[in-house]
Amino acid sequence: MTTPLKLNGRLTIKDLNALPEIPIEGITYDQMYIEKQPICPEYIAPDPNIIPSSKRTVVIDPGRICMPFGAMWASVGVHGCIPFVQGAQGCTTYPRYTFSRIFREPVSIATASFQEDTAVFGGRKNLIEGLRNLIIRYHPEVIAIVTVCSSEIIGDDMEGYLEEAQDALEEELGPDVLEETQFVIIHTPSFEGSHVEGYNRAAKAFLKTMARRTTPNNKVNIIPGMITPGDIREIKHILRLMDIEGNILFDISGTLDCPLRLPQAMPYYPKGGTKAEDMKDMGNSMMTFALCPDEGGAGARYLEKRFKIPAAIGPVPLGIHNTDIFIKDLAEATGRPIADEIKDERGILIDAMADTFHYTMGIRVAIYGDPDIAAAATRFCCELGMEPVLIGSGTESKQFVKDVWAAAHEYNLKPTILNGSDMFEWEDYLKKDKIDLILGNSKAANVSKEADVPLVRIGFPIYDRVGYQRRAYVGYRGGEYLLDLIVNTILDSKFPDDRVHQ
């Protein structure tokens, strides 16, 4: 029998790194001595012995948010859908706030409003009464029932409760109500993963509930992942140019970035979003493209297993190499030729890269974001002659590491990869190195200011700028936009005016 490890007093970074193992009860925050040093003219580089986030019992500056949020993001991309959160009000309020900050749009999300008594008696009554209220007042076409930490820990029997709720609804409102409203249950215990996994689970849950095999439709399925409405419009533009019909799952371009036209009927539903019949039809398609492997890959794999629909899972079509793969796969799957306009768009991006290569070449970049976007951005930076030296992902992913290493190997680079780290760890590495540019989301803005390294915003979430949600980063045109952002930021920060003006 081994003696349990005893910790006495406060531990420095060095002590922590020297520990043979982390004791089962963890290391409490007051036992740790962590000094965060501000950047200033007298700045002294931090101790190179950085505590890996995996050795800490606290997460500092998390680079992820909770699992139900990803499921809610997916659900609001469905036409006439309201997510119903089987949990407390806080689990609903902060996602609504986050949606408003990113998209500047109100989002309807219902809550079962758990109170103390629910922790004892369970959420059965809340679900049955909540669904009844929602249907009577808002008449949604689809209700996505999203569980949270509390309902999963209590052990709410969601499937059983839903059956009871449906029986009660049928009895009170007649059988039509069940024809008019579809229910999808998405299990998202946040202690098992982040928003990335929440979106992934939603993709599988929606397809499992809705997709059916009837008649082949000569379409492709697209599961975009948590990319912007602008990105989804760019994917539609590519499909249009190639004369391909597509079913896009979770089409937020029509719900989270929709036109304001008055008067609006109440209850208000945006006219866009993926329709229930399109999700049903996804069982008949030729191929499924899950653009982000960790956000939607599970849905593509489900369709492959259930209906034998081939799946192309990732990479995010960002930059030359990744977009080439997407376009080539589209052409092969559908037998459609690659449109001349697409070849021109590619040529314009290549031209822009050649025109700006002397600015981007050798720029040392640190990247942080969700795994799929961070990996794709890494490759694009390599294509621009930049040197990604530090790449971090807030959510752990094997595919992320594989994709980053593949790009690094091709370009003969040896970056530091932080898989599933918090931003505190990433920041420590960043300050240790000489970094010229950061690519990351709004959470990296403080680090950028503190370390005096300019930031190009990309990924999720971006809430400290307007308009980002309308822009596309994917496809050749998206690459062009991102390239302009990168080069203009470098010009602003690295070059004296006389060089910029030439």
* Residue 65 CB, nearest approach to ligand SF4 (Å): 8
Calpha distance 93→106 (Å, rounded): 12
Cis amide prior to 388 (ω within 30 degrees) = no
The two three-digit tokens of residue 101, written as one number: 């900050």
Name the residue nearer to ligand SF4 (CB basis): 71 or 423: 71
Name the residue nearer to ligand SF4 (CB basis): 98 or 448: 98
For residue 448, CA distances in Å to 62, 199, 390, 462 come to: 16, 28, 14, 14
Name the residue nearer to ligand SF4 (CB basis): 37 or 115: 115
Nearest CA-CA partner of 490 in 374, 357, 399: 357
Backbone angles phi, psi at 255, to 5 degrees: -125, -35
- E-strand ranges in 48-94 read 81-86
* Residue 64 CB, nearest approach to ligand SF4 (Å): 10
* Residue 396 CB, nearest approach to ligand SF4 (Å): 17
3-state helix, strand, coil in the chain (%, to 5): 50, 15, 40
DSSP, collapsed to helix, strand or coil, labels residue 82 as: strand
| Alpha-carbon 294 to chain mean position | 8
* Residue 130 CB, nearest approach to ligand SF4 (Å): 16
* Residue 79 CB, nearest approach to ligand SF4 (Å): 25
Name the residue nearer to ligand SF4 (CB basis): 148 or 382: 148
The two three-digit tokens of residue 261, written as one number: 């036209």
* Residue 200 CB, nearest approach to ligand SF4 (Å): 16
Sequence-separated contacts (24+) of 305-308 with Cβ below 8 Å: 306/208, 306/211, 307/211, 307/213, 307/283
Q: Are 374 and 401 in contact (CB under 8 A)?
A: no
Residues 6+ apart with CB under 8 A from 145: 83, 84, 86, 127, 131, 158, 162, 183, 184, 185, 186
Name the residue nearer to ligand SF4 (CB basis): 148 or 423: 148
Residues that bind ligand SF4 (CB under 6 A): 66, 68, 87, 90-91, 148-149, 190
Name the residue nearer to ligand SF4 (CB basis): 84 or 359: 84
DSSP 286-309: SEEEESSTTTTHHHHHHHHHHH--
The residue whose two tokens read 């003696």 is 3
Name the residue nearer to ligand SF4 (CB basis): 76 or 276: 76
Name the residue nearer to ligand SF4 (CB basis): 95 or 459: 95
* Residue 68 CB, nearest approach to ligand SF4 (Å): 5
* Residue 184 CB, nearest approach to ligand SF4 (Å): 18
Name the residue nearer to ligand SF4 (CB basis): 95 or 230: 95
* Residue 155 CB, nearest approach to ligand SF4 (Å): 15
